[in-house]
Chains A and B, each alone.
Chain A
């Protein structure tokens, strides 16, 4: 029997996985949209978004709209690959349970 694939520690966290799950379904999303969907606090969400950015899983763009700052996030090809591998590892684990 093959050993279990190790779960990506960047994704194996509640809020970061929630952010990635939203971003995999859309083209790009504003920070406020991610906050609304994950129901996390702005501070915690900022920290987790920064971690995903450092891992190269998402891109973060800073813009302005009507003089208000706007943070737009979208998933990178590396993020899509990591997400698929994570889901595959989870399915593998659940399949053998």
Chain B
């Protein structure tokens, strides 16, 4: 019996009817498949942080490279956009939790990975900014980005995120070879890392989620 046929018979069933062995297996497969789609749309965080970091990085690069009058204010895009990302993520997370009907093992894993990512990023940014200078933070930031993407992609079984993680690791390795005198060139590398690692896979994940919803209707 196909999953669709099982589903139709289930919707009609209102008694305690036993099943044949073949029907049992088909029903189990169908229900597990349905429950696996319960992780929900996780693309929001990849898209919001991807776009905000991309815009902040490119704005900073343009201010330093092409607009001398704004050179002294090149940290401003980060100072505005990163707290904005924090607020938007917090509001979205609160709303999602309120309408959450199910807790999945994957969802819980992603929560812990996100916390680990946030803490690691804070440690890198804080200690690099007070001890070494922001230039030294960029390769490590991309390394942490890559780790978050790689684990999230594995947990969600979504290859573009895994590929994004590998691209970010490659960008991180490349960044270690950028000489101190050209450290400003680390910014477009970071912008490329978030574009390839967050924005493209984020849009693909969002499209996949929409497709799954349409198929379920």
Residues of A within 8 A of B (CB): 12-18, 21-22, 24-30, 32-33, 36-41, 44, 48, 65-66, 86-87, 90-91, 93-94, 97
* Residues of A contacting B108 in the complex (Cβ-Cβ under 8 angstroms): 27
Q: Pick the contact of A15: B10, B21, B25, B101 (CB < 8 A).
A: B10
Q: Which residues of A contact B207 (CB under 8 A)?
A: none
List the B side residues contacting A36 at CB < 8 Å.
101
Chain B residues positioned under 8 Å from A17 (CB to CB): 19, 24, 27-28, 31
Are A28 and B13 within 8 A (Cβ)?
Answer: no
Contact B16 A13 (CB under 8 A): yes
Q: Is the interface of A mostly helix, strand, loop or mixed?
A: helix
- Interchain CB contact under 8 A, B19 and A12: yes
B102: CB under 8 A from chain A? yes
Is B25 within 8 A of A94, CB to CB? Answer: yes
* Least CB separation from A87: chain B residue: B28
Q: Which of B16, B98, B105 has the most CB of A within 10 A?
A: B16
Query: Please, which residues of chain A bring their CB within 8 A of the CB of B98?
Result: 65-66
* A14 and B7 in contact, given A27-B105, A28-B103 (Cβ under 8 angstroms): no
Report B3-38 CB contacts with A as 1/0, cut-off 8 Å. Answer: 000010111011011110111110110111011101
- Tell me if B129 counts as interface (CB < 8 A to partner A): no
- State the majority secondary structure of interface residues on B: helix
When distances are taken between beta carbons in the complex, the residues of chain B under 8 Å from A38 are 10, 31
- How long is the Cα–Cα vector from A77 to B34 in the complex, in angstroms? 22
Judged by a CB distance under 8 angstroms, whether B104 is at the interface is yes
For chain B, the bracket of interface size reads 20 to 34
In residues 82-139 of chain B, which contact A (Cβ within 8 Å)? 98, 101-105, 107-108
> Given A14-B27, A21-B30, A28-B102, list of 10 further CB < 8 A pairs?
A12-B18, A13-B19, A14-B16, A15-B10, A17-B19, A17-B24, A27-B102, A38-B10, A40-B11, A40-B14
A-B contact pairs, 16 of them (CB 8 A): A12-B24, A13-B18, A14-B13, A14-B16, A14-B23, A15-B16, A16-B16, A21-B28, A21-B30, A26-B105, A27-B108, A29-B38, A37-B34, A48-B16, A66-B98, A90-B21
Query: Distance (Å) between the CB of B154 and the closest chain A CB?
Result: 18
Are A94 and B17 in touch, CB under 8 angstroms? no
- Decide: A41 near B14, CB < 8 A? Known: A12-B24, A17-B27, A22-B34: yes
- Enumerate chain B residues within 8 angstroms of A30, measured Cβ to Cβ: 101-102
